[in-house]
Structure 1
Amino acid sequence: MTDTTTTQVRQRDTPKEQPPFALAGVGAIAIVSAIALLASAGRYGFFGDELYFIAAGRRLAVSYADQGPVLPAIARLMDLIAPESMVAQRIPAMLVTVAAVLISAQIAREFGGSRNAQLLTATAYATSPFLLVQGTQLATNTIDTALWVLISWLLIRWVRTRHDSLLLWASLATAVDMQVKWLIPFFWIAIAIGVVSYGPRDLFRRPALWLGAGVVVLATLPSLIWQAAHDWPQLRLGAVVADEQATIGGRYSWLPLAIASAGLLGGVLLIYGIVALFRWEPLRQYRFLAPLPLLLAVAFIVTDGRPYYAAGCYAAIIAAGAVRWTEKTGRPRTIIAISMIVISVVLVAFSMPWQSDSAIKPAKSQADAGLSIGVYGRFGWPELAAATATAYQSLPEADRADTVIITDSYWQASALDVYGTNLPAVYSPSRGFGYFGTPPDSATTVLWIGDDQSEVAPLFASVTPIGRVDARLGFPGSTRDVTIWRCDHPRTPWSESWPNLRHL
């Protein structure tokens, strides 16, 4: 090896000096974000999925029909520490969201970003209507997004330092994320395409990368075995998501909603960051990130994924945009940045769930509820539990011994599992709850909670309405305009009919 070649290798493998971390400023942004999340965490009722995580956590398994075991395990732990506490359930979501704010600033620092670039990146993350507000509830996307941010930082840091231990840590984070939901493979495929196109191609020659990939496969194997034994429900769920997306515009609305979820400041820096990664020479070694959001957008549009599926990559791209923006100084840039920050702060402040009950208007439809009630609604779960208990107590005592409860949706079943007291066993053919158990064949009387008699009537010899749930701020079809039916004498034993009733 010549002296020139040796010098080039040493220069490549020698980490560049980083700017100081803007600890005070970024820390202040993180603290304000934490206060905002904590102040709003207990103001509104459990989101339906949060109740489902608690119910699933009481039935811990290596996998579920619609997700991995991480969220149920977290929910179970918090439920043991503080039973039925909304704030306790949401603390993990708040912690990982605030951590993502801090890591996003660290990504800007890895790019060589100054104090201002780090502050601008953290501010953009903390004023994103999606990235911050998702921290108000425990959800798969909350944990998934934060893990994407962590993995992005580890990978970007590896590019600068070439410390292969970072690849192992990224692999471990990926293994954990595979126990949340199966979106992270899209990230790595897009990264691989970017690396093939722009380098650094020596990434593929690092044993740590392939060792880490093996760790991911081994960690995911129990979940894969469970899924295969149950006919891959997590993959089949994609068709359900596609139908849900159709109610809000389908593929045509994907890109506008995806950009809007980043917020004003975040959206501008997101677009600016893509351009910077493609064209700005100081970010040349990170150019493999430039196609990342574009490839993810194509993948999730084609597969009818949700607009926020790609949000985990926003931090890295926003950081690149912030570094490029702050590289040049001048009064116009300062005025524009401050204006966007002020508007973004105002917008995110209005996105937080701080309204009083009286100020909230009931959702007009399930589509309307899906867009708004997750942040602003009370949902009416206690009302559902109370109405169900009343209906159950109205049954003759002799009939109660052979009575079970079946609900239309897994949200309803989860709510009764958490809020219900002195109720019989609860079942639902919906989503993951359908795999929790089958009603016993001895159950000759059923309290069926739903709004469509035509679906229930063919299953029984007799169907009679005996109760109703109609919470003002409830979710249509779940806790508003819902009937409780007494159903007697199933026409087919549950052991035979249940597999056909299950649906995602």
Structure 2
Amino acid sequence: MDIRPPLAWRPVAAVSGALVALLLLTSGGYGHHRDELYFRALSEHPAWGYVDQPPLTPLLAGLSRAVFGDTLTGLRVLPALAAGLLVVLVALVARELGGRGAAQTLAAFGTAGGVYTLIGGHTLLTVSFDLPFWLAAILFTVRALLREQPRWWLAVGAVAGLATYNKLLIALLFAALAAGLLAVGPRRVLASPWLWAGALVAAVLAAPNLLYQVTNDWPQLAMAEALSADEGDEMRVLFVPMQVLLYGPVVAVIGAFGWWRLWRDRRLRAAAVAYPVAAVATLVSGGRFDYTGGLILLLFAAGCVAAEAAGADRPRSAGIALGCNAVGGVLLALPLVPLTVLGSTPIPAINEVARESVGWPQFTAAVRGVLDTLPPEERARAIVLTGSYGEHGELVRAGVPRVYSGHNQLHAYGPPPETGTVAVTVNIGRRGMDLQYATCEERARIDNGVGIDNELQGMTVHLCRGLKQPWSTAWPRYRHLS
């Protein structure tokens, strides 16, 4: 017999639908984020995997272009739908934990108004799809633990296996849960044949993705090491404050009560332990502060159940506080502030996605302008060399020919042709230019026009001539992971 409370499908569906509508209405604001431009470029090279990620997000970028059109809004339809699904999944987790209508509605509303949810729903990022995978896995795990229905471990395994095609990070969730089960139990779960059958399902589904990693010398481990070396110290400094700001301080406070609720239930105590285990692992490894984002939503869902159980006034007060949280989240995450004044607000400093979505038209115009100054014979064989996948992706999207980059997976799509004796370079650095060309002179400087200090602002465009050595010889030196 199903002893769960009824699903509050009307308010949950209303929150989910309103979120999707808001995200689609604002999807054309500002411009592409550099990661979106990268995924769009990778979608033109379908593969089982890439040096920096599994294949799913680039595959979905290609699907979006084919189904919804090769536009900014078209690229953002699937992230918006994924955010709507995430809202429903968090509400379902609250229901599994015993939450009735008020708790489910609070869980849906708070999730929808969280900054991280809104950013992932607005922009095509790996996190856009990773969060729903995590919450589906958490939902089925809670069902298996709380209701003692071990067949749900098969569903957990299926979600885990499929999630590896988006990010291998799902392994952190299960490592943290396993640590919790070993530390505080119930340890009998680890002896369940259903759990091991679920692990087998995950392994079978993930096998092609893992085979790619094995046969390519584990490129994503090399990528993880590069990211830790490049950003690890910064991520450690930001970790604690971002746990509070990721979905907003109100969600964090409610989540703290949720942690206590999980800890008090012996059947779910392992889930409470999973969060600090994942947090410590992230800090030690220098991983990104958002790696715990899925577990924070579990704590938040439990906190909404605790608020409902505390009395009629608590859900009302929590709802008002979450409403304020949502207003701040929407202003920070979505392109509602006009570009003309965006630079005078704190939003670009807080929201990297908004900051790095500005200036692409000016960038493309500057590169085209330098190319247009070349005599026809030189222009026909000139190459464009970029230091980052964002610049590469934008120029490819704009139809600029013969664009190359050594950044991450893009290095595999080189080297440039040996006829590329003339190059327009951006974001390469003096050493990279002098390594390959006899002369390089600055021809343009990027100004995004709105005074926002991002990676494009102030970037120089150089024209280089006099190839020193064949590209086939020099190209390995241009490979870099970051």
Q: TM-score range by the shorter chain?
A: over 0.9
Select the residue among 327, 332, 339 that pairs with 1:346.
Answer: 327
- In the TM superposition, residue 371 of structure 1 has moved relative to its aligned partner by 3.4
The answer to whether the aligner puts 1:52 opposite 2:34 as a matched pair is: no
Superposition pairs of residues 213-232 of structure 1, within 5 angstroms: 213-232=199-218
The counterpart of 1:434, out of the listed 411, 417, 442, is 411
What is the rounded CA distance, in whole Å, between the counterparts of 1:183 and 1:335 in structure 2?
36
Instruction: Determine what percentage of the aligned residue pairs are the same residue.
Output: 27
Check conservation: 1:131, 1:311, Cα contact below 8 A.
no
Residue by residue over 1:187-240, the C-alpha shift from the partner in whole angstroms, topping out at 9 and shown as x without a partner, is: 101111112233343433343433333343344444444444544332222344
Structure 1 length normalisation: TM-score?
0.88
Q: CA deviation at 1:425?
A: 1.3
Assess if the C-alpha contact under 8 Å between 2:385 and 2:423 holds in 1: yes
The answer on whether the counterparts of 1:44 and 1:376 sit within 8 Å (CA) in structure 2 is no
Match of 1:395 among 363, 370, 374: 374
Q: 2: CA distance between counterparts of 1:114 and 1:179?
A: 34
Q: Distance in 2 between matches of 1:220 and 1:438?
A: 32
Q: CA RMSD in A?
A: 2.5
Question: What amino acid sits opposite 2:328 in the alignment?
Answer: L
For these two proteins, the number of residue pairs brought into alignment is 480
- Partner Cα separation in structure 2 for residue 404 and residue 376 of structure 1: 28
Shift of 1:299: 0.6
Which aligned pairs between 1:404-443 and structure 2 lie closer than 5 A? 404-420=383-399, 423-443=400-420
In 1, the alpha carbon distance for the partners of 2:150 and 2:88 equals 23
1:230-283 deviations in whole A, cap 9, x for unaligned?
Answer: 443322223443355468x4423211112221213311121111111112xxx3
CA distance in 2, matches of 1:474, 1:124: 33
CA deviations 1:140-171 (Å, max 9, x no partner) are 11211111011100111122444454322222
Aligned-partner Cα distance in 2 for 1:387–1:219 = 46
Kept in 1, the 8 Å contact 2:235–2:287? The answer is no
Out of 381, 385, 401, which is 2:360 matched to? Answer: 381
Cα deviations by residue, 1:266-320 (Å, 9 ceiling, x for unpaired): 11121111111112xxx33112111111111101011111111110112221111
Write the distance in 2 (CA, Å) between the matches of 1:372 and 1:348.
10
Decide whether the 8 Å contact of 2:4 with 2:95 is kept in 1: yes
Whichever residue aligns with residue 163 of structure 2, its letter is: D
Q: Residue 154 of structure 1 aligns with which residue?
A: 140
Equivalent residue of 1:488, what SS?
strand
Q: What TM-score do the two structures reach when normalised by structure 2?
A: 0.92
Q: In structure 2, do the counterparts of structure 1 residues 133 and 18 end up closer, same or farther at CA, with 3 Å as the change threshold?
A: same
Query: Are residues 305 and 258 of structure 1, via their aligned partners in 2, closer, same or farther at CA, if it must alter by over 3 Å?
Result: same
Question: Cα distance 1:475–1:345, how it changes in 2: closer, same or farther (>3 A)?
Answer: closer
Give the aligned partner of residue 246 of structure 2. Answer: 261
Return the letter of the residue paired with 1:439. Answer: P
Name the amino acid aligned to 2:57: L
Residue in structure 2 matched with residue 5 of structure 1 by the alignment: none
Distance in 2 between residues matched to 1:371 and 1:239, nearest whole Å? 25
1:131 aligned counterpart, secondary structure:
helix
What does 1:256-335 align with in structure 2 at a 5 Å threshold? 256-279=241-264, 283-329=265-311, 331=313, 333=314
Partner of 1:466: helix, strand, or coil? strand
Tell me how far 1:120 sits from its aligned partner.
1.8
1:12-51 to structure 2, matched below 5 A, reads: 17-51=3-37
- In the alignment, the residues of structure 2 paired with residue 492 and residue 466 of structure 1 have an alpha-carbon distance, to the nearest angstrom, of 23
- Look up the equivalent residue of 2:321 and give its one-letter code: M
Partner residue of 2:123?
Answer: 137
Tell whether the 8 Å contact from 1:57 to 1:73 is kept in structure 2 after alignment. Answer: yes
Q: In structure 2, the residue corresponding to 1:285 is in which secondary structure?
A: coil
How many Å separate the matches in 2 of 1:461 and 1:448?
14
Structure 1 portions without partners, runs of 5+: 1-14
Partners of 2:285 and 2:447 in 1: how far apart?
36
Q: 1:78 aligns with which of 64, 67, 72?
A: 64
**Aligned 8 A contact 2:235 2:289 in 1:** no
What amino acid is the match of 1:310? Answer: T
Distance of 1:475 and 1:485 partners within structure 2: 22
For residues 51 and 226 of structure 1, the distance between their equivalents in structure 2, rounded to whole angstroms, comes to: 24
> 8 Å contact 1:18–1:109 — kept in the other structure?
yes
Gaps of 5+ in 2: none
The structure-2 alpha-carbon separation of the partners of 1:30 and 1:479, relative to structure 1 and needing over 3 Å to count, comes to same
- Which secondary structure state, in structure 2, belongs to the residue aligned with residue 265 of structure 1? helix
Distance in 2 between the 1:458 and 1:499 partners? 12
Residues 108-155 of structure 1: CA deviation (Å, up to 9, x unaligned) = 111111211112211221221112332111101121111101110011
1:186 partner amino acid = L
